[in-house]
């Protein structure tokens, strides 16, 4: 019986898990979910397929972890503290730039994830997994404003989703269409996030009650 000789470049469990994710990302970026073979991923790495299941449980969980990592967004310290110290713009600039560098590095995986998010038919289940990952990313973003982001008002979550959709579109225009540069996307996202924070009270406030004046007879 043939034996598999591991070819991992890294030795500790966290690094081995990261290397499996790197290989899985390449496969999921170019193939539909059903067409991806964990056997092929294991052979590429020179390990037993059981090691993949040891770390991730199932192919679905492996895929979901790839999507989570691909769609991960930058975390921020508590925003009120940044505003109080006058560092909101500076920190936004740093975190968004670092994030865009990662997105550019994982270009194919990111674009594949955004395609799945809007796909139907055979990839509907995969699209649902992408939606779950986006909601987790949303919770991550809102954690800079709320101790428990799941308790954020529905209007706040709606605003965050709107900003996320605009960011996703801008990145696709940059990576897939070439209509924007990375610098332009960074400026857009920094300005958009800063403007939303500065005007969040006005955005979320109920519309003023308009009093209808009676017409003179």
Instruction: Please give the Cα distance from 175 to 68 (Å, whole number).
Output: 19
pLDDT of amino acid 125: 66
pLDDT of amino acid 214: 61
CB 74 within 8 A of CB 95: yes
In the chain, % of residues over pLDDT 90: 26
Instruction: Please give the Cα distance from 184 to 190 (Å, whole number).
Output: 10
Query: For 138-184, how does the pLDDT look when each residue is reduced to its tens digit (9 = 90+)?
Result: 888 888 888 888 888 888 889 888 888 899 899 999 999 999 999 99
Q: How many CA atoms lie within 13 A of 46 on its CB side?
A: 6
pLDDT of amino acid 195: 84
pLDDT over threshold 60, residue 4: no
Q: Over the range 153-187, which residues count as b (16 or more CB within 10 Å of their CB) and which as e?
A: eeebbebbeebbeebbebbbebbeeeebeeeebbe
pLDDT of amino acid 46: 92
For residue 90, the tally of other CB atoms under 10 A from its CB is 12
Helix 154-172 vs helix 124-142: angle between axes, to the nearest 10 degrees?
120
CB 89 within 8 A of CB 106: no
Instruction: Please give the Cα distance from 163 to 141 (Å, whole number).
Output: 11
pLDDT of amino acid 42: 95
Instruction: Please give the Cα distance from 19 to 12 (Å, whole number).
Output: 11
Query: For 94-115, how does the pLDDT look when each residue is reduced to its tens digit (9 = 90+)?
Result: 989 988 998 898 888 788 777 7
| pTM of the predicted protein model | 0.68
Domains (range + CATH), the chain: 13-67 (1.10.10.60), 71-203 (no CATH)
pLDDT of amino acid 3: 47
pLDDT of amino acid 169: 93
């Amino acid at each position: 019986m043939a034996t598999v000789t591991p070819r991992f470049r890294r030795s500790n469990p966290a690094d081995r898990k990261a290397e499996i994710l790197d290989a899985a990302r390449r496969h999921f970026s170019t193939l539909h979910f059903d067409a991806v073979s964990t056997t092929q991923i294991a052979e590429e790495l020179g390990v037993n397929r059981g090691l993949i299941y040891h770390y991730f449980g199932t192919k679905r969980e492996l895929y979901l972890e790839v999507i989570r990592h691909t769609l991960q967004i930058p975390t921020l310290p508590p925003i009120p503290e940044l505003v109080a110290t006058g560092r909101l713009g500076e920190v936004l600039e740093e975190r968004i730039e670092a994030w865009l560098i990662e997105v550019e590095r994982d270009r194919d995986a990111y674009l594949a994830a955004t395609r799945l998010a809007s796909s139907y038919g055979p990839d509907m289940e995969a699209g649902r997994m992408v939606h779950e990952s986006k909601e987790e990313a949303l919770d991550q973003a809102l954690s800079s404003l709320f101790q428990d982001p799941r308790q954020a008002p529905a209007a706040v979550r709606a605003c965050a989703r709107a900003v996320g959709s605009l960011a996703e579109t801008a990145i696709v225009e940059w990576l897939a269409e070439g209509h924007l540069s990375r610098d332009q996307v960074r400026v857009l996202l920094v300005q958009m996030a800063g403007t939303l924070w500065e005007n969040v009270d006005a955005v979320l406030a109920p519309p003023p009650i308009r009093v209808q004046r009676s017409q003179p007879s």
